[in-house]
Amino acid sequence: MTTKRYRIATIDGDGIGPEVSQAALRVLKTACGDMLDFDMLDGGAGHYQKTGQVLPEDTFNACREADAILHGAAGLPGVVYPDGTEVGNDLHLRLRFRLDLYANVRPVKLLPGVVSPLRGYEGGGIDYVIVRENTEGLYASRGAGVLLRDEFASDSLVTTRKGTERVAEFAFRLAESRNGALSDGKKRVTVCDKANILRSYAFFRAICDEVHQQHPDVAIDYAYADAITVHMVKRPEFYDVIVAENMFGDIISDLGAATAGGMGISPSGEIGDEHALFQGAHGSAPDIAGQDAASPMATVLSAVMMLRWLNDRHGDPRLAEAADRIETAAGRVLSENIAVPRDLGGNARCSEVAEAICRALG
């Protein structure tokens, strides 16, 4: 058995970021013992206010050298660049683009004990994954759009063959590794686009079709971005893996999160060929920052995704075992009402939820 240790670059960030990040670290240390070493790194809107840097070069270099990155949240209201865009988001986007984290993986999974706003759906009744292209689409224009004489602004939607091939390949391989959609057990990739209207999306779909040829055991399905919002509410059990352009993925992943208990329990993994960043899909929630009131669940479940990704890369069963134990412990804390966070109808504090998960691990 290997005794390898893994270096995790950790950026607490802003708002509730430090609270949820530290809660997740506490759970990771309890489950993983001395397998993980943590680099605590500066970054975010608060750091920008003090230093003028949202992502210090030291932080970026440590993230690039680490085995994985775990992030709390970033962004503070009113801390914006002269063009009006948010500083905190820039931390995130710089890491995404500079580390080429092209697959933003957003599981939509209703856990036992968690109430969905969709009537008739209980724990286990919703289980699919949104794979959002994370390095181009409409986001390729961030910081590059046209702003003219305070009367004209435009951003372009960029679809490249490489960018689409690799995110589609990721989606089909993910579908091959899953057990298929809940409704029929079929391994399926649904391409979410607006190919009926825009050539960029018709190009996206055509490349997904090409990639599908290499994955005959996975069914391909198509849904326009407007229509899929209806299906995600009316028949979520049909979905297995959804692949979408950046902006569409950003939008439908929040809808998916809402159907599975909300942003406070929705994890994410932003994955490239060499690096990966894991964080809850929520934001920095400054309105409840510093009150120990946030739920650490999304960050804890993102840490589970991180351990599984590390196991995929290093083939270290200790990581997979720790991931399973944390996921089971977190699930028990919710399903047995041991410590239910406020966003899920309970009154447990952030630190209490983390403590309960650690006890359940024990």
Q: Catalytic amino acids?
A: 139, 194, 226, 250, 254
Contacting range for ligand IPM; rule: CB under 6 A; set: 10-18, 62-70, 86-94, 111-119: 86-94
- For the chain, the farthest-separated pair of C-alpha atoms sits apart, in whole angstroms, at 64
Distance CA 94, CA 155 (A): 18
Q: Which x/- pattern over 244-283 shows residues binding ligand IPM (rule: CB under 6 A)?
A: ------x---------------------------------
Taking the complex as a whole, the smallest distance from the CB of residue 132 to Mn ion amounts, in Å, to 9
Taking the complex as a whole, the smallest distance from the CB of residue 61 to Mn ion amounts, in Å, to 27
* By CB under 6 A, residue 89 contacts ligand IPM: yes
* By CB under 5 A, residue 250 contacts Mn ion: yes
- The 3-class SS string of 147-178 reads EECCCEEECCCECCHHHHHHHHHHHHHHHHHC
Whichever of 168 and 277 has its CB closer to ligand IPM, that residue is 277
Burial class (CB within 10 angstroms; exposed 0-12, middle 13-18, buried 19+) of 230:
exposed
* By CB under 6 A, residue 190 contacts ligand IPM: no
Q: What is the DSSP letter of 354?
A: H
Measured CA angle at 174 (ends 169, 179), to 5 deg: 140
SS3 68: strand
Is the sign of the CA dihedral 77, 81, 83, 88 positive or negative? negative
Q: Number of residues interacting with ligand IPM: please give it, by CB under 6 A.
A: 4
Angle between helices 350-361 and 297-314 (to 10 degrees): 40
* By CB under 6 A, residue 105 contacts ligand IPM: no
Which of 47, 71, 92, 109 binds ligand IPM (CB under 6 A)? It is: 92
Taking the complex as a whole, the smallest distance from the CB of residue 254 to ligand IPM amounts, in Å, to 7
Distance CA 251, CA 263 (A): 12
Whichever of 101 and 174 has its CB closer to ligand IPM, that residue is 101
245 binds, among Mn ion, ligand IPM, none (CB under 5 to 8 A by kind): none
92 binds, among Mn ion, ligand IPM, none (CB under 5 to 8 A by kind): ligand IPM
93 binds, among Mn ion, ligand IPM, none (CB under 5 to 8 A by kind): ligand IPM
Q: What are phi and psi of 53, to 5 degrees?
A: -120, 120
349 binds, among Mn ion, ligand IPM, none (CB under 5 to 8 A by kind): none
Contacting range for Mn ion; rule: CB under 5 A; set: 38-46, 174-182, 202-210, 250-258: 250-258
Taking the complex as a whole, the smallest distance from the CB of residue 250 to Mn ion amounts, in Å, to 4
Q: Are 55 and 9 in contact (CB under 8 A)?
A: no
Strand-pair partners of 329? none
Taking the complex as a whole, the smallest distance from the CB of residue 209 to ligand IPM amounts, in Å, to 26
Q: Are 302 and 28 in contact (CB under 8 A)?
A: no
Residues lying near ligand IPM in the complex (CB under 6 A) are found at 89, 92-93, 250
